Amino acid sequence: MKRFTALLLAFCMMFGLYVPAQAAGSGMDNFQKTETYQGQFADIEAGYWAASSVQLCYEYGLMKGASATAFNPKGDLTVAEAIVMADRIHEIYHTGKSTLANGDPWYQPYVDYAVENGLIAQGDFSSYTAKATRAQMAYLFCNALPQGTLDEINTIASIPDVSASHPYAKEIQTLYQAGVLTGSDMYGTFNPDSYIIRAEAAAILSRVALPDQRKDVVLMKAFTQGNVTLAMPQDAINVDNVGVYSLASSEEQAMALISVYSDPSFQGIDISVLSQSMISSLLTSSFANTGIPVSGVQSAPVTFGTLKAYRSTCTMTMSGVEMDCIIYIYISGADLNMIGLLANDNDAVLTNMANGVRIGGSAPSPLL
């Protein structure tokens, strides 16, 4: 009898009958492709900014089309639709698949699931068919995954239009720090009360479910000195520098300086009378005797509104360290003004610093 039992056991194990199939465990590895996208959405062109996100959401079963052949990327997302997406994230993470189906009203099973699993609380929303705001979306998507899955990859001190008292401030901040949200500009402006469209939801949803889609971002902060506004990383502080307004970011290894040289002979002079090569030569020779030489200077004319200026790119050597540098130089009244921007091997930050300069409220044209 024992021998028969052992043989039967071996037979069952051979054919996978002895141990029943186990449910998938919880984890981010549960997000797997279940569909193949072959360009079936006619309203998503290859060059569309959210095309890759739409494809990912479709292939991973996170979003469906408005029809078999259309995605409706600019369509507003409703609260109920946002709950459906949050439920899918939660269910796939915990079970490996999405099983919920429509009820009566169609969204009721999804609302019930969200309440039962702590994604939302009763009374959170006055209407499930209303358009979802960006803040509501952040609340839902943040709650779709457990703590520890939205790892902090960005240091975000503040979001300009989301105060600490905002009801969803914690969730919004969490998504920024995790690289799921990046804001609509270099300062991280979120527009929390604006409605969210399906294309935006796809971009955000793909980053929630797929960590490799999350974005490293350095948010900027505005600093004003006289009629000049500078954009610097949020951790930047004023640095004592006699006669020169200076800012420094230790975390991003970036600096900004404003220097003004006054001379009555500058009055009425248009800086554009100097050629690009003359500006480059002037900067090279001027810095040669300062102990912080510049090299590879390339200059081009720009404007700040009606104000004419030059923008020069170069490499500046400080204490033996080479730093990428952008310099704006212009004349205003009897003042020769110079704005120096430096960053150590961080092109994205330096570009934002250069494009974020405002003189008299005007941005540089053209932008970098």
Q: Are residues 249 and 190 in the same domain?
A: no
Look at 83-87, 305-309, 321-325 and tell me which has the smallest mean pLDDT.
321-325
At 15, the pLDDT band (50, 70, 90 cuts) reads very low
Q: Are residues 41 and 170 in the same domain?
A: yes
Number of folded domains that form the chain:
2
Look at residue 155 and tell me if it is in a domain.
Answer: yes
112 alpha carbon, distance to own chain's centre: 32
Look at residue 5 and tell me if it is in a domain.
Answer: no
Q: Are residues 80 and 119 in the same domain?
A: yes
Instruction: Pick the last residue of a domain from 189, 213, 237.
Output: 213
pLDDT at 304: 97
Q: Are residues 93 and 138 in the same domain?
A: yes
Q: Are residues 161 and 259 in the same domain?
A: no
Total Cβ atoms within 10 A of residue 13: 11
**Tally of residues, the chain:** 368
pLDDT at 24: 57
DSSP 82: H
Look at residue 16 and tell me if it is in a domain.
Answer: no
At 116, the pLDDT band (50, 70, 90 cuts) reads very high
As a whole number, the mean pLDDT across the chain is 90
Look at residue 190 and tell me if it is in a domain.
Answer: yes
Q: Domain containing 101: what range?
A: 28-213
Instruction: Pick the last residue of a domain from 193, 213, 233.
Output: 213
164 alpha carbon, distance to own chain's centre: 20
At 5, the pLDDT band (50, 70, 90 cuts) reads very low
Counting beta carbons within 10 angstroms of the beta carbon of residue 307, is it exposed (0 to 12), middle (13 to 18) or buried (19 or more)? middle
233-252: average pLDDT = 90
Cα 294 to Cα 18: distance, rounded to the nearest angstrom: 75
Q: Are residues 269 and 148 in the same domain?
A: no
Which CATH number do you get for residue 233?
3.40.1000.10
Instruction: Pick the last residue of a domain from 181, 213, 245.
Output: 213
pLDDT digits (tens, 9 = 90+) for 254-313: 999 999 999 998 888 889 888 999 999 988 888 888 888 899 999 999 999 999 999 999
Contact 197, 82 (CB under 8 A): no
Look at residue 9 and tell me if it is in a domain.
Answer: no
pLDDT at 7: 36
80-107: average pLDDT = 95
Q: Are residues 100 and 189 in the same domain?
A: yes
φ, ψ of residue 47 in degrees (nearest 5) = -90, 5
Paired strand residues for 102? none
Closest CA to 211 of 29, 54, 51, 25: 29
Look at residue 149 and tell me if it is in a domain.
Answer: yes
Report the alpha-carbon angle 100-102-106, nearest 5: 140
pLDDT at 240: 78
Q: Are residues 279 and 181 in the same domain?
A: no
pLDDT digits (tens, 9 = 90+) for 311-320: 999 999 888 8
Residue 206 has pLDDT above 90, yes or no: yes
Residue 165 has pLDDT above 70, yes or no: yes
Q: Are residues 233 and 188 in the same domain?
A: no
pLDDT digits (tens, 9 = 90+) for 45-83: 989 999 999 999 999 999 999 999 999 999 999 999 999
pLDDT at 22: 40
> Of all residues in the chain, what percent carry a pLDDT higher than 70?
93
Look at 42-46, 137-141, 242-246, 314-318 and tell me which has the smallest mean pLDDT.
242-246
In order of 147, 301, 306, 317, 360, the CA distances from 330 in angstroms are 51, 10, 12, 23, 13
pTM score of the predicted model: 0.85
Q: Are residues 195 and 324 in the same domain?
A: no
113-124: average pLDDT = 95
At 1, the pLDDT band (50, 70, 90 cuts) reads very low
171-197: average pLDDT = 96
Closest CA to 142 of 181, 111, 185: 181
Q: Are residues 191 and 242 in the same domain?
A: no
More confident call, 227 vs 23: 227
Look at residue 13 and tell me if it is in a domain.
Answer: no
Q: Are residues 344 and 290 in the same domain?
A: yes
Look at residue 71 and tell me if it is in a domain.
Answer: yes
